[in-house]
């Protein structure tokens, strides 16, 4: 590492690496230099003039956000001249800024308000009429109020650089300058809302949040987004048991402050009018609302009776439920219902990957690796649409570290634009020489690489003789956790062989089982007729599967329960309950009550997430993760690779059953249908 | 979008004048030359320039809306630009501007009904030594008086 640079800021000695900007150097010793346009990770703008400081031997005040440190530099940030400059800058920014703070969404958490309070002048000399332009709606999500804008260009830069979309620009000049959308009067973009969150003032506001609350009236709960498998942390702002907004401004979690439309706005399925809030029981062919006690009793009795009669059970688990719920469910199935017919919708071949990796030097990558490693190879997936966070990390890696990105996909993808090499199709072998020359590599692959193909890929990676890490792309919030927790007939939790055959999802829905228990899944979509004698469904909505059920038990959403989920790169994170929905219960609790009513509670243990997680830590390979990391809201990677995964004779592992839904930005399986914001964006595009 | 062979040649030369990956540097001259040929900057032209310079149409619009010499509305055949900045103002440039408007019966950035003339009040055109000055399309006229202006406009009007 290069020698550190010595400089003095406000009389304090500061040592920082070369190329550090004065504004960042000041931060290291706790000196705040105010700025609007400066934003870590984005290009420099020097547009707002708020960060002016005095530097010895320089004739004029300098913008601390663009000035790199140099040896012996003497910086002063609190002189009369600097204070005066800040006052003037604020006075200038406020000339056309409306005084509508009392009704502005940003009021209370507005950077301009805070700056005016700390550094501003109490009065303005500007007596002319303010320029006013009416508010505009750019999209169902994004509203723009031009007079509030202070032209810091953060939104333009985050959209261009951070998201790689470039949907915002600045048109006109001088006092008429304003932010403009990319297509005429509206936006055609990812609707991620990054521009809204990054706006220091209330110029960009979101259709979902605007005029709903004052920021200080909300309680904030950090939890994990329940949509795709990337595992972004979203901080839900709640009031009176209602989720009002999602964002991650504190940059906690593996995603920093990145969120896509699903993490930021698509929590809104939780209060959809069709949300189930009472158990339903089929009486005379129709589903009728009944009490929880009644519904649980019916299911427990039926299960007990079926057991006594020697009937057959099938259990289908979910990609969305927590690790604790999945673990408890498989335990319930195997130990109480004494069946190995347990499965879930598999979206990627984790099993073959883990097996193929045993005895090799290759490893599993984390989300952070995508930002830090020198080269990335994307296989099959349209990363930007299906895995927005991973795509964001790769893009940031390219932007900040000039990482080499290789793309091997059947269709054009956004990564092509900055890829070092692009191959259409599957021929990654053709990149061998280029990849061999890289110091290290992360490989991401989707469901089109499974079974033997995947083994070949791992061998290929091994033959490159460079450090390689893998990410197996999976669809949903806890797709990885479902495999880890043994929701498959061939494997128990921690990839231990089950040793006995069992039915897969496709077989279970076509077999004439005595009882089928579906937890948070929709296997009967597409007008599949149920075959099971008795069908119990735990879900939030009356899905195609629930419509055919004998008993429907209303389940809590991910935002209404505690527990842990494991993302596509195997990082375990904690869900924290943000709200409660009347009538719905967490799946774990439902299973616990069923166990109690069947007299099996002693076998299965308490249905408390913490207790179940403690058991998982003790018994599931790879989950011996450090508790302090989890407890503080961090992510800990599970590394279950310790030897081959043996699937016993008579039990076949079936990679052919794996298929991904390939959800785009505005889709999220069955759950996506119930999100108002995702639907509104789709409808808006159709109607245009 | 197709342009005249001369303009195409000019575009080619422009785009080759900058290092690879910096083709957006050619954006302003391309817009200006194309405007001369087409008469104004159309959405189609914006998209064409965006494609050729490797930018988004929005980025072209940013530039387009920034520069006052780029027009999205058609101008008159003769675009009369009257300077009313300080040097010209001191030599009655403002009165000259008013006279022009009155004579043609149009205002700032407006076009006569026959499409012959348009007027624009402009900032300094760099002809302070010969104030008051006006610019008709790319031609400068120095020490302009209302009488000289009348003659000029009448002459242009006859030319058709």
CATH code (residue B29) = 1.10.10.1590
CA distance A585 to chain B (A): 49
Whether A650 and A608 share a structural domain: yes
Stated pTM of the model? 0.93
pLDDT at A444: 97
Within-domain flag for B21:
yes
Within-domain flag for B73:
no
The order of strands in the sheet holding A219-224 is A219-224, A233-239, A242-247
Whether A312 and A419 share a structural domain: no
Residue B73 burial by CB count (10 A; 0-12/13-18/19+): exposed, middle or buried?
A: exposed
Whether A493 and A608 share a structural domain: yes
Flag whether residue B137 sits within 8 Å of chain A, measured between CB atoms: no
Q: What is the pLDDT of residues A435-488, one digit of tens each?
A: 999 999 999 999 999 999 999 999 999 999 999 999 999 999 999 999 999 999
Neighbours of A109 (CB within 10 A): 14
Tell me: pLDDT of A416 over 70.
yes
Tell me: pLDDT of A1 over 80.
no
Whether B45 and B111 share a structural domain: no
CA distance A169 to chain B (A): 6
Domain boundary among B41, B66, B91: B66
Interface probe for A, chosen from B58, B68, B71 (most Cβ of A below 10 Å), is B58
| 3-state secondary structure (DSSP) of residue A428 | helix
pLDDT at A561: 96
Whether B62 and B113 share a structural domain: no
Whether B96 and B32 share a structural domain: no
Taking contacts as CB-CB distances below 8 angstroms, the residues of chain B near A169 are 56, 58-59, 61-62
pLDDT at B157: 83
Whether B104 and B45 share a structural domain: no
Residue ranges making up the domain that contains A643: 280-346+478-659
Specify the CATH number for the domain of residue B123.
3.40.30.10
Give B 25-64 residues with CB within 8 A of chain A.
56-59, 61-62
Tell me: pLDDT of A260 over 90.
yes
Tell me: pLDDT of A625 over 80.
yes
Whether A355 and A341 share a structural domain: no
**Number of domains, chain B:** 2
Within-domain flag for A686:
no
Residue B148 burial by CB count (10 A; 0-12/13-18/19+): exposed, middle or buried?
A: middle
Distance CA A399, CA A43 (A): 10
Beta strands in A401-539 (DSSP E): 404-409, 421-424, 441-445, 468-472, 491-492, 496-497, 515-519, 534-539
Domain boundary among A416, A442, A472: A472
Whether A257 and A290 share a structural domain: no
Beta strands in A182-312 (DSSP E): 204-206, 219-224, 233-239, 242-247, 280-283, 286-289
Whether B42 and B88 share a structural domain: no
**Beta-sheet pairing, A551-554 with A280-283:** antiparallel
| 3-state secondary structure (DSSP) of residue B117 | strand
Tell me: pLDDT of A502 over 80.
yes
Whether A186 and A247 share a structural domain: yes
Residue ranges making up the domain that contains B56: 5-66
Whether A290 and A203 share a structural domain: no
Segment A177-190 shows an average pLDDT of 93
Residue A358: pLDDT band with limits 50, 70, 90: confident
Within-domain flag for B98:
yes
- How many CB pairs (< 8 A) connect A and B? 26
Contacts of A299 (CB under 8 A, 6+ apart): A536, A551, A553, A594, A597
Q: What is the pLDDT of residues A34-71, one digit of tens each?
A: 999 999 999 999 999 999 999 999 999 999 999 999 99
Q: List the single residue in B58, B61, B66 with the smallest CB-CB distance to A166.
A: B58
Q: Given an 8 Å threshold on Cβ–Cβ distance, is A170 in contact with B59?
A: no
Distance CA A615, CA A609 (A): 10
pLDDT at A650: 64
Two tokens at A421?
A: 């090499």
Whether A335 and A435 share a structural domain: no
Domain boundary among A246, A271, A296: A271
pLDDT at A72: 95
Domain boundary among A254, A271, A288: A271
Concatenate the DSSP letters of all residues of A535-601 into one string.
Answer: EEEEESS--HHHHT-SEEEEBPPGGG--EEEE-TT-EEEEE------TT-B-HHHHHHHHHHHTT-H
Whether A485 and A565 share a structural domain: yes
Q: Given an 8 Å threshold on Cβ–Cβ distance, is B62 in contact with A170?
A: yes
Within-domain flag for A550:
yes
Specify the CATH number for the domain of residue A58.
3.10.20.740
Within-domain flag for B16:
yes
Q: What is the pLDDT of residues A384-411, one digit of tens each?
A: 999 999 999 999 999 999 999 999 999 9
Within-domain flag for A490:
yes
CA distance B144 to chain A (A): 31
ipTM above 0.95, yes or no: no
Contacts of A45 (CB under 8 A, 6+ apart): A37, A38, A65, A152, A153, A157
Specify the CATH number for the domain of residue A179.
3.30.70.20
Angstrom distances, CA of residue A440 to CA of A369, A467, A540? 11, 5, 44
Flag whether residue A365 sits within 8 Å of chain B, measured between CB atoms: no
Domain boundary among B17, B37, B66: B66
Q: What is the pLDDT of residues A151-183, one digit of tens each?
A: 999 999 999 999 999 999 999 998 899 999 999
Residue pair B65/A171 in contact (Cβ under 8 Å)? The answer is yes
| 3-state secondary structure (DSSP) of residue A419 | coil
What one-character DSSP code corresponds to residue A508? H
Residue B158: pLDDT band with limits 50, 70, 90: confident
Residue A363: pLDDT band with limits 50, 70, 90: confident
Q: Which residues of A373-400 are buried (b: 16+ CB within 10 A; e: fewer)?
A: bbbbbbbbbbbbbbbbbbbbbbbbbbbe
Whether B89 and B129 share a structural domain: yes
CA distance A21 to chain B (A): 27
Tell me: pLDDT of B53 over 70.
yes
Residue A649: pLDDT band with limits 50, 70, 90: low
Whether A241 and A293 share a structural domain: no
Name the nearest CA neighbour of B28 among B66, B76, B73, B72.
B66
Whether B60 and B93 share a structural domain: no
Mean pLDDT of chain A: 94
Whether B96 and B154 share a structural domain: yes
pLDDT above 70: percentage of residues in chain A: 99
CA distance A179 to chain B (A): 10
Q: List the single residue in A169, A173, A181 with the smallest CB-CB distance to B59.
A: A169
**Number of domains, chain A:** 4
Name the nearest CA neighbour of A208 among A133, A139, A107.
A139
Residue A235: pLDDT band with limits 50, 70, 90: very high
Within-domain flag for A113:
no
pLDDT above 90: percentage of residues in chain A: 88
Within-domain flag for A251:
yes
Within-domain flag for B71:
no
Angstrom distances, CA of residue A628 to CA of A413, A442, A485, A519? 39, 28, 22, 30
Residue pair A637/A571 in contact (Cβ under 8 Å)? The answer is yes
Tell me: pLDDT of A413 over 70.
yes
Within-domain flag for A685:
no
């Amino acid at each position: 590492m290069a020698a550190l640079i010595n400089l003095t800021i406000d009389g304090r000695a500061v040592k920082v690496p070369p190329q550090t900007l004065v504004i960042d150097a000041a931060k290291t010793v706790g000196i705040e230099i105010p700025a609007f346009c400066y934003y870590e990770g984005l290009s420099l703008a020097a547009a707002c003039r708020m960060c002016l400081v005095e530097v010895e031997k320089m004739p004029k005040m300098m913008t601390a956000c663009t000035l790199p440190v140099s040896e012996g530099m003497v910086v002063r940030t609190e002189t009369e001249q600097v204070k005066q400059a800040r006052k003037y800058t604020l006075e200038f920014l406020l000339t056309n800024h409306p005084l509508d703070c009392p009704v502005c969404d940003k009021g209370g958490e507005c950077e301009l308000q805070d700056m005016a309070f700390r550094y501003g002048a109490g009065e303005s000399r500007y007596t002319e009429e303010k320029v006013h332009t009416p508010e505009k709606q750019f999209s169902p999500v994004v509203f723009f109020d031009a007079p509030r804008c202070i032209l810091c260009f953060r939104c333009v830069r985050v959209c261009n650089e951070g998201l790689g979309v470039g949907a915002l620009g600045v048109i006109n000049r001088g006092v008429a300058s304003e932010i403009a959308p990319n297509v005429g009067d509206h936006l055609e973009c990812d609707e991620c809302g990054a521009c809204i969150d990054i706006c220091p003032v209330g110029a960009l506001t979101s259709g979902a949040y605007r005029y709903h609350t004052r920021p200080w009236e909300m309680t904030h709960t950090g939890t994990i987004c329940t949509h795709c498998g990337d595992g972004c942390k979203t901080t839900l702002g709640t009031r009176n048991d209602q989720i009002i907004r999602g964002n991650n401004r504190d940059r906690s979690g593996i995603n920093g402050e990145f969120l896509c439309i699903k993490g930021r706005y698509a929590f809104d399925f939780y209060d959809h009018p069709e949300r189930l809030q009472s158990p339903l029981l089929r009486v005379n062919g129709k589903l009728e609302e009944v009490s929880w006690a009644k519904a649980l009793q019916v299911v427990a009795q039926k299960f007990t009776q079926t057991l006594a009669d020697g009937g057959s059970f099938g259990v289908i688990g979910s990609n969305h439920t927590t690790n604790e719920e999945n673990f408890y469910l498989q335990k319930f199935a195997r130990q109480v219902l004494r069946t190995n017919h347990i499965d879930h919708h598999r979206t990627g071949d984790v099993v073959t990957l883990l097996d193929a990796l045993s005895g090799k030097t290759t490893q599993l990558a984390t989300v952070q690796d995508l930002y830090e490693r020198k080269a990335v190879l994307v296989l099959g997936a349209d990363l930007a649409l299906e895995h927005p966070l991973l795509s964001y990390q790769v893009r940031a890696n390219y932007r900040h570290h000039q990482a080499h990105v290789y793309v091997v996909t059947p269709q054009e993808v956004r990564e092509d634009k900055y890829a070092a090499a692009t191959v259409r199709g599957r021929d990654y072998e053709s990149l061998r020489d280029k990849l061999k020359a890289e110091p290290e590599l992360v490989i991401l692959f989707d469901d089109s690489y499974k079974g033997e193909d995947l083994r070949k890929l791992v061998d290929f990676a091994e033959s490159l003789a460079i450090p390689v890490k893998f990410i197996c792309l999976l669809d949903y919030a806890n797709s990885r956790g479902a495999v880890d927790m043994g929701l498959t007939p061939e494997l128990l939790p921690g990839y231990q062989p089950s040793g006995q055959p069992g039915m897969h999802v496709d077989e279970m829905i076509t077999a004439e089982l005595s009882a089928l228990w579906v937890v948070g899944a929709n296997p009967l979509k597409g007008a599949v007729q149920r075959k099971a004698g008795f069908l119990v469904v735990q879900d939030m909505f009356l899905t195609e599967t629930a419509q055919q059920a004998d008993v429907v038990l209303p389940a809590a959403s991910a935002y209404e329960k505690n527990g842990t989920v494991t993302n596509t790169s195997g990082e375990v994170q904690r869900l924290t309950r943000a709200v409660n929905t009347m009538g719905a219960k967490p799946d774990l609790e439902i299973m616990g009550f069923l166990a109690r009513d069947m007299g099996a509670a002693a076998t299965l243990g308490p249905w408390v997430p913490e207790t179940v997680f403690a058991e998982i830590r003790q018994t599931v390979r790879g989950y011996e993760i450090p508790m302090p990391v989890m407890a503080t809201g961090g992510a800990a990677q599970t590394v279950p690779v310790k030897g081959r995964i043996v699937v016993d004779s008579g039990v076949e592992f079936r990679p052919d059953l794996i298929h991904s839904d390939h959800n785009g930005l505005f889709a999220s399986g069955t759950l996506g249908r119930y999100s108002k914001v995702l639907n509104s964006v789709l409808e808006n595009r159709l109607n245009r | 979008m197709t342009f005249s062979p001369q303009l195409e040649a000019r575009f080619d030369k422009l785009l080759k004048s900058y290092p690879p990956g910096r083709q957006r540097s050619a954006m302003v001259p391309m817009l200006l030359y194309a405007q001369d040929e087409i008469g104004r900057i159309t959405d189609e032209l914006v998209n064409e320039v965006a494609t050729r310079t490797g930018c988004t149409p929005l980025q072209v619009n940013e530039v387009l809306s920034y520069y006052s010499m780029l027009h999205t509305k058609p101008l008159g055949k003769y675009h009369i630009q009257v300077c009313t900045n300080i040097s010209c103002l001191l030599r009655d440039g403002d009165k000259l501007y008013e006279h022009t408007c009155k004579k043609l019966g149009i205002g700032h950035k407006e076009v006569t009904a026959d499409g012959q003339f348009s007027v624009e009040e402009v900032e300094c055109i760099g002809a302070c030594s010969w104030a008051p000055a006006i610019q008709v399309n790319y031609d400068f006229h120095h020490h302009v008086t209302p009488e000289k202006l009348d003659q000029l406009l009448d002459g242009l009007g006859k030319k058709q």
